[in-house]
């Protein structure tokens, strides 16, 4: 048996400041009743005076403690985020410094709400090469700092947090990752964040400014209920998976109504879905690893776990994991 890449640790962090729907209704034209009816979201966490790198470093410390690894044993750190501390340096580089992972190379990956899926897949490929043995994959989002709080169609959805995993090469073991499928369908108009307009003239008055998060709700809903559900169905068919053979489904935590649509489309009961959007909001790329960490901490050991992310790009992708020996 050849060496396998195993998921050996999983951890998460939510900032302590909780924001209720009633609080948001004080600054925008909305209500707890409207938000819950349309999204299923009750609360979300906001990072107050806390950078993305700080949240990610807290997850990294938990991962090292759980795996009993030292920071200098880590070869690679990938951070998936669309709300970094800055365009450069990368958030991953700041995490590498904060935890003292002196032997690791580190970089950010931008794939929006599918970021964890893309980052996990990328780290897995590095570890299947002879050069690398241990990788840290962390998703972190500071969505609140990118919100226009006059735009209730977007601002009520999003929350902040971080979560991640450690992947390790193990002698004579099977891979945790059984199958994957990643895809991109370029569409700038549906979802975008942090746009910086090009220079129009050389002027002393010019100063770069990033625009707030924007999403076209109906376009996103159509994307999920057609493209994403069809992708998940095809992924299951390709891997000869029947709905009753899936032990756990961890989709991007967009909103509860979309999770209900996915459950209906796949004919997999919602009881098999990991859900955190009700208390954490839409945490972009963090939702999937946050749910994974919660399920594993609760003692779940799924033989077949289906993880599917989808978001701005438009990007989407699925992983099939065997975590029965976690």
Catalytic residues: 113, 252, 282
Nearest 5°: the CA angle 311, 317, 318 is 130
CA–CA gap between residue 191 and residue 322 (Å, rounded): 32
Which of 252, 242, 246 is CA-nearest to residue 302? 246
Is the separation of the CB atoms in 314 and 189 below 8 Å? no
Residue 209: how many other CB atoms lie within 10 Å = 8
Would you list the DSSP string of 240-254?
T--GGG--EEEE--S
Give whole-number Cα distances, 62 to 11, 12, 51, 59, 68, in Å: 6, 8, 17, 5, 10
> What is the tally of helices (H) and strands (E) in the chain?
11, 13
Q: What is the DSSP letter of 198?
A: P
């Amino acid at each position: 048996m050849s060496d396998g890449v195993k998921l050996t640790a999983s951890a998460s962090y939510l900032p302590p400041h909780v924001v209720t729907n009633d609080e948001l209704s004080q600054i925008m034209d909305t209500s707890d009743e409207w938000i819950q009816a349309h999204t299923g979201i009750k609360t979300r966490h906001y990072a107050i005076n806390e950078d993305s790198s700080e949240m990610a470093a807290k997850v990294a410390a938990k991962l090292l403690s759980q795996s009993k690894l030292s920071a200098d044993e880590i070869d690679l750190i990938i951070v998936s985020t669309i709300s970094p501390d800055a365009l450069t340096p990368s958030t991953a580089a700041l995490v590498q410094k904060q935890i003292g992972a002196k032997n690791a190379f580190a970089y950010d990956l931008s794939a929006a709400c599918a970021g964890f899926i893309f980052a996990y897949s990328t780290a897995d490929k590095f570890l299947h090469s002879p050069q690398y043995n241990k990788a840290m994959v962390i998703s972190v989002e500071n969505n609140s700092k990118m919100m226009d709080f006059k735009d209730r169609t977007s601002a009520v959805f999003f929350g902040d947090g971080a979560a991640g995993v450690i992947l390790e090469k193990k002698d004579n073991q099977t891979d945790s990752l059984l199958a994957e499928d990643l895809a991109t369908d370029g569409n700038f108009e549906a979802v975008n964040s942090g746009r910086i307009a090009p220079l129009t003239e050389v002027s002393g008055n010019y100063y770069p400014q990033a625009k707030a998060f924007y999403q076209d709700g109906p376009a996103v809903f159509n994307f999920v209920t057609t493209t994403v559900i069809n992708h998940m169905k095809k992924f299951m068919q390709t891997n000869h998976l029947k709905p009753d053979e899936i032990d756990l489904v961890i989709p991007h935590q967009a909103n509860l109504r979309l999770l209900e649509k996915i459950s209906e489309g796949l004919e997999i009961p919602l009881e098999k879905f990991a859900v955190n959007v009700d208390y954490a909001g839409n945490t972009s790329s963090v939702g999937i690893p946050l749910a994974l960490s919660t399920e594993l901490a609760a003692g779940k050991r799924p033989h077949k776990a289906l993880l599917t992310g989808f978001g701005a790009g438009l990007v989407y992708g699925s992983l099939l994991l065997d975590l029965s020996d976690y």
